[in-house]
Structure 1
Amino acid sequence: MSHTITVVVPIYNESDVLAQFHERLCGVLDACAGEFSILYVDDGSEDDSLALLHDLRSTDSRVGVIELSRNFGKEVALSAGLDHAGGEAVIVMDADLQDPPELIPQFIDAWQAGYDVVYGQRRDRRGDSPFKRNSARAFYRVLGVLSDVEIPRDVGDFRLLSRRAVEALKSLPERHRYMKGLFAWIGFPQKAIPYDREARVAGVSRWNVWRLWNFALEGITSFSAAPLKMATYLGLVTSTVAFIYGVYMLLRTLFFGNPVPGYPSLIIVILFLGGVQLICLGIIGEYLARTYNESKQRALYFIKGYHPSADQHSDES
């Protein structure tokens, strides 16, 4: 059965692995039936990635390149790719080869069987450090408990989306885009394809502890209001405990007196209540900042240059 599929690949400083990734991806696509195009989205790379992308485009008619005006982040780069991807289905994946292109035929088979979203689910993360494996496992479980939408565990961006799933994602106007949550939120029939995640072939991951922490906050605050409720409950509990303790101290003073001032206990109580207040204010601030950013209605990204594949350009003309 003939079909047209676009592979969207966000790129940021991937010059070390780009040629190898493209060669391996093309080997898989050449063995699949149907017509394919590859859309690379350069997210403001500071190395030779953009020059390499143009070299690939000059030698492969299936390659198209989007140049963003600066580094907007992977989630936005992915959104830009989806906005410009044609075809009956779209495959999104990273260029670091941790997600094997060899899984694509299984994605296509599941899509042709009626699934709108087919995603790779990591059985093993042998390519990641112990800290990243454990923190990711903990994050997905916490998010699963807090989120109003069931977000699959141990799942990244590597997936196939049908045309109606892509159009559904394009209709979402929000600026804070946690794509893994949005993929789940749109619904439609979805299927997991398990696989083992390998180590990076080349280059260094830019996901340090600080980036991972902010990414976790983005995911939780984008798909759950539970932290706000927890702040309310925490405030209620601490107020109740403080009231009970206040009554206890009053009765103790009235009946037994209080010859020794309770300076240490007083400082502990003040610091504890102050810490709780700051935590609650921080949680509220996170949601308020996101509301503020959404209210500005800024463009999600700007394109410095769009170079469609030769195949797509000939179709349009």
Structure 2
Amino acid sequence: MKNLIEQKYLSVIIPLYMGEEFIEKLVLELELLASYLKDILSLEVIFVDDGSPDETFEVVKRISTNHFKFQGVRLSRNFKSYIAILAGVNECTGDYITILPQDLQESTDVTVALLTEIKKGYDVVWAVRRSRSDPWLNMFLSKCFHKLMNLMWSSWPNTGADVFMITKPVAHILEGMQEKNSHITGQILWMGFKQTRIYYDRHSRKIGKSGWKTFSKLKLAVDIITQFSYVPIRLCTIFGILIAILAFMYTILIVFNKIFFNIVVSGWSSLMLVILLLGGMQLIFLGIIGEYLWRAFDEVRKRPAYIVIEKINHNE
């Protein structure tokens, strides 16, 4: 009885989007994981259907398990994976919370390694990719993205860390944030706490194709930069000051040449070039400011980060 009372839970959040073909394999892997961990802790799984247009949630309803309990959460539309993870965090009850991708490119072995490390007394453990097996274009874009994030934020892993494990206190703070145009990696890094990393080799995708398109990755980069950094705004200020200084110096040069050498500056082409250059830079700066203003407006409206239309609970 004492062992039963002290038994802790591991909550595994699985965001699903058009994931009906993955669920059977996921359940098999989760059964093995729960069986392996049964003497250490119990397993709770939260399947979050992120507005899939196929029969993903119907397949979740038909899941039958022997070694773990699970919940199913269906969102009203596709809110993207970060929001789906947040929905799972709000539903889970475990002492430790982690993520498992539907395609199992990060296997349950990574989950075990994360658990081993967090039980040493950490609040957050990141699973950082040591290597990955993806198409070269995806690898190149990912490398550029993470390098950019690392330049702006030194604690951001160079190769990315989409999988992590956190403790219940960290999860409670994450629940309270409810930020829509953000990213969970940045939020957890921002929190602080006692954090560490493990390293793993990412498997190649065996089934299906990635739902992450180039535009989605670009939007994610903009979201993270505008949510956690003032650098773009500061760059606008710096460029504005530099241009003002150059314009002032050029004005002095023109006046000096006119007074002492009677040289008159002429040239319609050069004038148009300067006007178009400055006009283009002004539009870029207005766009950057607009990105920040839109995100502030989106948060002020206080719309819910997501909408749940259906739940199932097999935890009883």
Q: Common fold, TM-score beyond 0.5?
A: yes
Deviations 1:50-103, CA, capped at 9 Å, x for gaps: 121112157876221001111111111110000000121111121111111112
The offset of 1:173, in angstroms, is: 3.8
- In structure 2, the residue matched to 1:194 is 199
Asked if residue 130 in structure 1 is aligned to residue 136 in structure 2, the reply is yes
CA distance 1:57–1:182, shift in 2 (3 Å): farther
Give the match for residue 226 of structure 2. Answer: 221
1:10-55 deviation digits (Å, cap 9, x = unpaired) = 1111223222232223222321232101110001001221121112
Using the TM superposition, give the Cα deviation of residue 260 of structure 1 relative to its aligned residue in structure 2, in angstroms.
Answer: 7.4
Alpha-carbon distance between aligned partners in 2 of 1:79 and 1:298, rounded to the nearest angstrom? 15
CA distance in 1, matches of 2:67, 2:313: 12
Of 178, 187, 199, the residue aligned with 1:182 is 187
**Matched position secondary structure for 1:22:** helix
Task: Tell me how far apart the structure 1 counterparts of residues 278 and 249 of structure 2 sit (CA, whole Å).
Answer: 14
2:47 to 40, 56, 71: 40
Alignment partner, residue 26 of structure 2: 21
The aligned residue for residue 286 of structure 1 is 291
What secondary structure, in the 3-state scheme, does the structure 1 residue paired with 2:63 have?
Answer: helix
Which secondary structure state, in structure 2, belongs to the residue aligned with residue 44 of structure 1? coil
User: Does structure 2 conserve the Cα–Cα contact (< 8 Å) formed by 1:17 and 1:201?
Assistant: no
Which one of the candidate residues 3, 7, 11 is aligned to 2:8?
A: 3
Match for residue 85 of structure 1?
Answer: 92
Q: Does 1:152 align with 2:141?
A: no
Tell me: higher relative CO, structure 1 or 2? Use CA pairs within 8 A at least 6 residues apart: 1
Q: Are 2:71 and 1:53 aligned?
A: no
SS in 1 for 2:93: coil
1:158 and 1:61 map into 2 onto residues whose CA distance is 21
Q: For residues 91-146 of structure 1, what are the alpha-carbon distances to aligned partners after superposition, in whole Å with 9 as ceiling and x for unaligned?
A: 112111111111222111112111111121001122x2223222222222322332
CA apart distance, 1:284: 0.5
Q: In structure 2, how many angstroms separate the alpha carbons of the residues matched to 1:260 and 1:232?
A: 29
2: CA distance, partners of 1:220 / 1:57: 42
Q: Distance in 1 between matches of 2:279 and 2:130?
A: 43
SS at 1:122 equivalent: strand
The TM-score, its normalising length taken from structure 1, stands at 0.91
Deviation at 1:259, TM superposition (A): 6.4
* Contact 1:93–1:157 (CA under 8 A) maintained in structure 2: no
Name whichever of 254-263 and 87-96 sits farther off: 254-263
Letter in 2 for 1:135: L
Tell me, in whole angstroms, the C-alpha distance in 2 between the residues paired with 1:22 and 1:86: 20
Larger CA deviation: 241-250 vs 270-279: 241-250
Aligned counterpart for 1:71 among listed residues 70, 75, 78: 78
Check whether the contact 1:56–1:63 (CA below 8 A) recurs between aligned residues. Answer: no
2:245 is matched with: 240
Query: Distance in 1 between the 2:204 and 2:263 partners?
Result: 65
Percent of aligned positions with the same letter in both sequences? Answer: 28
Instruction: Write the distance in 2 (CA, Å) between the matches of 1:150 and 1:250.
Output: 51
For residues 283 and 186 of structure 2, what CA distance do their matches in structure 1 show? 28
Q: Which residue of 1 aligns with 2:145?
A: 139
Distance in 2, Cα, partners of 1:215 & 1:306: 28
How many residues align? The count is 309
Q: What letter corresponds to residue 118 of structure 2 in structure 1?
A: W
Provide the rounded CA distance (Å) in 2 between the counterparts of 1:72 and 1:113: 35
Deviates more, 1:33-42 or 1:10-19: 10-19
Superposed, which structure 2 residues align to 1:90-101 within 5 Å? 90-101=97-108
Instruction: Provide the secondary structure at the position in 2 that maps to 1:217.
Output: helix
Distance 1:247 1:89 in 2: 66
Where in structure 2 are the equivalents of 1:151-170 lying within 5 Å?
Answer: 151-170=156-175
Deviation at 1:199, TM superposition (A): 1.8
User: 1 CA distance for matches of 2:31 and 2:260?
Assistant: 85
Q: Is the 8 A contact 2:43 2:68 kept in 1?
A: no
Q: Which 10-residue stretch deviates more, 258-267 or 2-11?
A: 258-267
Mapped partners of 1:241, 1:259: distance in 2: 19
C-alpha contact (below 8 Å) 1:235/1:276 kept by paired residues:
no
What do you get for the CA RMSD once the two structures are aligned?
Answer: 2.0
